Amino acid sequence: MLQGKKILLGVSGSIAAYKAATIVRLLVKEGADVKVIMTPAACDFITPLTLATLSKHEVPVTISDNQSWNNHVMLGRWADVMLIAPASANTIAKMANGFCDNLLLATYLSATCPVLFAPAMDEDMWHHTATRHNIEKLLSYGHKQLPVEKGELASGLFGEGRMAEPADIITYLHAHFEDKKPLTGKKALVTAGPTQEPLDPVRYISNHSSGKMGIAIAEALAAAGAEVTLVLGPTHLSSTVNTIRVVTAEDMLNNSKAHFYTSDVVVMAAAVADYRPKFVEDKKIKKGAGDELTLELEKTQDILRTLGTDRPAGQVLVGFSLETNNEQEYALKKLREKNLDLIVMNSLNDPGAGFNYDTNKVTLFDRNGVAKDLPLKSKQEVAKDIVTAITDILQSRNV
């Protein structure tokens, strides 16, 4: 798969830089032509001589060197793909904001090839809001992030932030260079997570959705080759695909509209509030003299119904139906009334299914109401099944 491919490996300052030697060795073993660029900080963890010996190419480090000052333009045009591994929090921040204070960053800004990056940092840094925003920026640029792993970190803590292992990185490169994925060239829109409808500056109405199922679907669509936009409600989770963060049902509707009409596939997996407070207080509601508080609610605009009535020809539209009773009856009603091609039904009565679990048990109903029951499995596996069903619909239409 990698025979003859030109891989430009950028190594930034992280303890995970020692893994760069294994990455280079595996790439060369597969027949790739590998060139390496290092930041000065990376040299504290592994020497340029080691990587030069393994890659059989000189490893430039400083942009001011007489022999390498213009290498960033040449290297950025030479590569079939630029892989930055490890990508430290500092380097990710600089990439996201266009900084150019070392040779690796100058080359990154000059690259005309696809860019993949493998983050490596401690867990608190990984979950910091600034890092999440920087990664979302890079994803919006069309770059691909390799998933981080959970394990022992350099700090001695155990958690997320470890760089993907070299063998897994090679697997991701294989996937990148695959000739044809089933949804290559297709655009997909996915909604996920809850919405929050404010009562006052302090309180809101919401639900227990974590967004796990929708995020899994977005990433499965991307793995199948689609260009995915994820509209994600308030959740601590994040995704490797291009993500738009929203809060209210109105936010979700407006941001979904912006992508709905250009999308070949739309999966509405979000748990959107059906009602919101009719009046939102501008100050915190205080305890009254009585023991009761009456709230007046109004319906939110039904996103799925609103968009489904004016959908583009050929688009595949998928909805979700999470129920506590009469599950099949309600799911089939929604399938018909909201003009869907596929509805995913699950029940809170099934152990291991529903909100916050890592597993799910669903039934898929196609446009004709034909059911396909799936056993309890991980949400990632359920997502793959849903993507397979979507792919089958597109192929049946010869789209």
| CA separation, residue 125 to residues 107, 136, 155, 244, 269 (Å) | 25, 15, 11, 21, 29
Tell me the three state secondary structure of residue 149. strand
352/126 Cα distance (integer angstroms) = 28
């995915």: which residue's tokens? 228
337/71 Cα distance (integer angstroms) = 59
Q: Is 284 annotated as a binding residue?
A: yes
- The answer for residues whose C-beta is within 8 angstroms of residue 301's C-beta and 6 or more apart is 249, 250, 253
Q: Is 257 annotated as a binding residue?
A: no
Q: Is 99 annotated as a binding residue?
A: no
Catalytic residue selected from 90, 207, 254, 339: 207
Other C-beta atoms closer than 10 Å to the C-beta of 240 total 19
339/311 Cα distance (integer angstroms) = 9
90/109 Cα distance (integer angstroms) = 16
Active site annotation includes 207? yes
| CA separation, residue 163 to residues 36, 123, 215, 331, 353 (Å) | 18, 11, 21, 42, 31
Let me know: does 274 contact 197? Beta carbons within 8 Å: no
Other C-beta atoms closer than 10 Å to the C-beta of 383 total 26
């490893």: which residue's tokens? 59
Report the candidate in 243, 220, 239, 231 with the shortest Cα–Cα distance to residue 268. Answer: 231
Report the candidate in 143, 150, 108, 144 with the shortest Cα–Cα distance to residue 127. Answer: 150
Positive or negative, the Cα torsion across 339, 342, 348, 354? Answer: negative
75/108 Cα distance (integer angstroms) = 9
Other C-beta atoms closer than 10 Å to the C-beta of 285 total 13
Active-site amino acid positions: 207
Residue ranges of the annotated binding site for CTP are 274, 284, 320, 334, 338
Residue ranges of the annotated binding site are 274, 284, 320, 334, 338
